[in-house]
Amino acid sequence: MTEQPPDDTHTQPLNRRATLADVAALAGVSLGSASRALSVPEQVKPATLKKVAQAVAALGYIRNGSAQALASRRTRTVAALYPTLDNPIFAQSTHSMQQTLWSLGYQLLIASHEYQIDNEFALLRATVERGVDGLILVGTDHSQEIFSLLHQRGLPYVLTWSTDDSSYPHCVGISNFDAARKLAREVIAKGHTRIGLCGGAIDRNERARGRRLGILAALKEARLKMRKDWIFEAPFSYAGGRQAIQYFWSRKQRPTAILFGTDLQAIGALHQCREQGIRVPDDLSIIGFDGIEEAEMMQPALTTLRIPAHEIGRRAAHRIVALIEGTPVEPEPPLSEMLLIRESLGQVSSTNQR
Amino acid sequence: MTEQPPDDTHTQPLNRRATLADVAALAGVSLGSASRALSVPEQVKPATLKKVAQAVAALGYIRNGSAQALASRRTRTVAALYPTLDNPIFAQSTHSMQQTLWSLGYQLLIASHEYQIDNEFALLRATVERGVDGLILVGTDHSQEIFSLLHQRGLPYVLTWSTDDSSYPHCVGISNFDAARKLAREVIAKGHTRIGLCGGAIDRNERARGRRLGILAALKEARLKMRKDWIFEAPFSYAGGRQAIQYFWSRKQRPTAILFGTDLQAIGALHQCREQGIRVPDDLSIIGFDGIEEAEMMQPALTTLRIPAHEIGRRAAHRIVALIEGTPVEPEPPLSEMLLIRESLGQVSSTNQR
DNA sequence: ATGAAAGCGCTAACAA
DNA sequence: TTGTTAGCGCTTTCAT
């Protein structure tokens, strides 16, 4: 009798992690069938399916995603690259994006470069290296390197948040220019003529640029001019807004209204006004941009413009999956923002006509 | 003369994506040397290194992470599983976690189950399948399934946010029980005897549980009793806090102070009080928990307790890498929280002694 | 519907 | 220090 190598497969647990080959062996089918049972069950006979399922359960088998990705050249993962996650407006879109992708059978890989815009390429490179089937980027203004890499690798991508400065058909967002102009017109309609502006860095950020230009356009329409020293640049944070108030209030000439690039800044500004005893909106009107929930909670409540962040997340998710899977998609219809006129924007009265 | 297959390597770009073999060929070295040049450059002669680097640049070569992971069984990726990203306190820790991991050569994969706690296992499974070297979880209270999977796969993990209810040596967080008791003592010290509590669901959430128990302990010490109908459970959101105020103010007996499970709820409550004309802190004191930046911006400013979210992110990142790489680590020293006593907590006066 | 077998692109052990 | 080579665990033709 020939000496047989021991075959423990059916009698005791493996001392190593179960592979698909183990599953196949235990189920008494070939490796190919086991693979198909998991990936394309409709091509497999129910009986086979059942045997495989039992073996999977018995072994506690979990697919090795790396091997699967290597063999199939697909990862079923989409990456979203954000400037930061520290702004509630981005966190909002993340949520619906993840839910939607999950429901479509994809995972979401989230990363952020924290406004170190030069890191964006490094981040993208690392993400591509790790392996993703598609990307969702924030904004339309990215370095040439980035687009080159994307094209060179044939990676589908969706641009989100804005449609400004781009003719790419897969932009899911609003026109920041139009939105900001609309908001500025409201401010002007309240009688303001002395209007300041606090934006963020506009380098590689067409959102900040579009907002600034939209405001300037509205002023121009109304034959108002923007003083150079009433354009202030600050970080996109509460602290940035505080700095802006300190800056404007240290000037000899002060505006009666300030339009901020983000709600985060505007809320910081509101807080700083309280510290300095500046009455809002009597002494100064403050206007945000984004429409985060916190804006409504402030005292006075912040006037702002709501960006449909959840809708952006949802649509971007559907779109990137369509691009990955080659489903035809129409060019994206524009999304619409909503004005939220609240207490922090006041009518100009004799009080602040100095 | 034998017919030779054309060798375009040196003359024209490849029509397919470059592999490490292409790099090696172009550099005139072996596959192994090329691999080492990228992974363990210190083991390679500078001249070789240079040739490989040039070939990489010339071909625009990017490593295939899946293949690398398959061959090496390491992904250099850590996943962090959050309940939600829609709370600024989590977004904060995410930031420092990512920075730290990146600096240590790891990528961060972020996912959240949005308080669908039953999804946590599915999320973990998908994450493990995709391939990660280690995990960072929020909280100590997870299902048995989760710990089983982690142990079965030999995956290192760190538990964050709290040290309550766990003897696991790799917990990076605070004692929610102690912290909440400390906070409640402050409230009692201000003369409050009629104290309400608004927490969140305590199922699979030892943080919510610890906070509730800490408050009850402080009351007991002071020989105060907690009325059953003054314990209200609401979602961890602004809306949840609003509901709580509606609930408490519809009771015949009302508390003079309410302790909330999170700042999000407390801020929603502050807002609802304004809506209903309830004066804070004259009619009611409101106390939060977390110490998010927004707490300070409110009018009145919210009394709360700061959780060192950034520190948690940083330490968890260092720790998980140490566990992955087998570096010895001490058990985690406890982190400390900080009381932030602000306007929303008032002294009890005759006014609210009904 | 299933089986056999050839890779996917890389790492790591081994030999030189 | 470098080259050679055998896998890593899976998918996917191609037969059957």
Work out the pLDDT band at B350, boundaries 50, 70, 90. low
Domain shared by A222 and A345, yes or no: yes
Q: Alpha helix (H) ranges present in chain A?
A: 20-27, 31-39, 46-59, 65-72, 88-103, 119-130, 144-152, 176-189, 206-221, 238-249, 263-276, 294-297, 309-325
- Are the C-beta atoms of residues A266 and A211 closer than 8 Å to each other? no
- Are B283 and B258 within 8 A, CB to CB? no
pLDDT tens string A208-257? 999 999 999 999 999 999 999 999 999 999 999 999 999 999 999 999 99
Cα A82 to chain centroid distance, Å, stands at: 5
On the question of pLDDT at B15 being above 90, the answer is: no
pLDDT average, residue stretch B157-164? 97
Residue at the smallest CA–C1' distance to nucleotide C11: B71
Weakest mean pLDDT among A2-16, A62-76, B270-284: A2-16
Q: What is the mean pLDDT of chain B?
A: 93
According to DSSP, the β-strands at B107-112 and B77-82 are parallel
Chain B: residue whose CA lies nearest to A78: B109
Question: What's the pLDDT at A238?
Answer: 98
For the record, the structure tokens of B263 come out as: 């700042």
**Is B343 part of a structural domain of the chain?**
yes
Q: pLDDT tier at A114 (50, 70, 90 boundaries)?
A: confident
CATH number, residue B214 = 3.40.50.2300
Q: Are residues B241 and B157 in the same domain?
A: no
* Stated pTM of the model: 0.92
Residues of chain B neighbouring A111 (CB-CB closer than 8 A): 98, 107-108
For residue A131, pLDDT beyond 60: yes
Per-residue model confidence (pLDDT) at position B114? 82
Residue B145 domain-assigned?
yes
Of A9-23, A314-328, B5-19, the one with minimum mean pLDDT is B5-19
CB contact under 8 A, A66 and B298: no
Q: Which of A70, A126, A238 sits opposite B66 (nearest CB)?
A: A70
Which residues of chain B make contact with A62, given a CB cutoff of 8 A? 125, 128-129, 153
CA A236 to chain B, closest CA, distance in angstroms equals 14
Tell me the per-residue pLDDT of A93-108, one tens digit each, with 9 for 90 and over. Answer: 998 999 999 999 999 9
Tell me which residue has tokens 């599915």.
B122
Instruction: Write out residues whose CB is closer than 7 A to strand C.
Output: A 29-33, 36, 43-45, 47-48, 67, 70-71, 73; B 16-17, 19-21, 31-32, 35, 38-39, 61, 63-64, 67-68, 70-72, 74
Task: Give pLDDT, residue B351.
Answer: 52
The predicted-structure confidence for B290-335, as pLDDT tens digits, reads as follows 999 999 999 999 999 999 999 999 999 999 999 999 999 998 888 9
- Shared domain for B26 and B114, answered yes or no, is no
Q: What tokens were used for B274?
A: 């304004």
Residue B5 has pLDDT above 50, yes or no: no
Tokens of B199: 């927490």
Taking the C1' atom of every nucleotide in all shown strands and the CA of B46, the nearest one is D1
Residue A49 domain flag: yes
Q: Does any domain span residue B142?
A: yes
Answer yes or no: do A127 and A202 share one domain: no
Residue closest to D7, CA→C1'?
A: B71
Does residue B182 sit in the same domain as residue B167?
A: no
Percent of chain A with pLDDT over 90: 89
- Conformational region of residue B74, where left means phi above 0, alpha means psi within -120 to 50, and beta covers everything else: beta
CB distance A146 to A124 below 8 Å: yes
Domain span at residue A152? 75-174+309-335
* Chain A residue at shortest CA distance from B270: A297
- Chain A residue nearest residue B296, CA to CA: A271
Is residue B132 in some structural domain?
yes
B80 and B3 together in one domain: no
Task: Identify nearest nucleotide to residue A42 by CA to C1′ distance.
Answer: C1
Residue B12 pLDDT > 50: no
Instruction: Examine the domain organization and report whether B142 and B210 are in the same domain.
Output: no
- State whether B267 and A98 contact (CB < 8 Å): no
Residue B70 in any domain: the answer is no
Question: For residue B14, what pLDDT is reported?
Answer: 64
Helical residues (DSSP H) of B285-325, grouped into ranges? 293-297, 309-325
Shortest Cα distance, chain B CAs vs residue A63, angstroms:
6
Q: For position A6, what pLDDT does the model report?
A: 43
Nearest-CA neighbor of B267 among B303, B234, B226, B233?
B303
Task: Report the domain count for chain B.
Answer: 3
* Residues of A with Cβ-Cβ distance to B153 under 8 angstroms: 17, 62
Are residues B147 and B278 part of one domain? no
- What is the CATH number for A34? 1.10.260.40
Q: Could you tell me the end-to-end alpha-carbon distance of chain B, in angstroms, rounded to an integer?
A: 109
Distance from B83 to chain A by nearest Cα, in Å? Answer: 11
User: In this model, does residue B353 exceed pLDDT 60?
Assistant: no
Name the nt closest to B24 by C-alpha to C1'.
D3
On whether residue A91 sits in a domain, the answer given is: yes
In a domain, A68, yes or no: no
Decide if pLDDT at A125 tops 60: yes
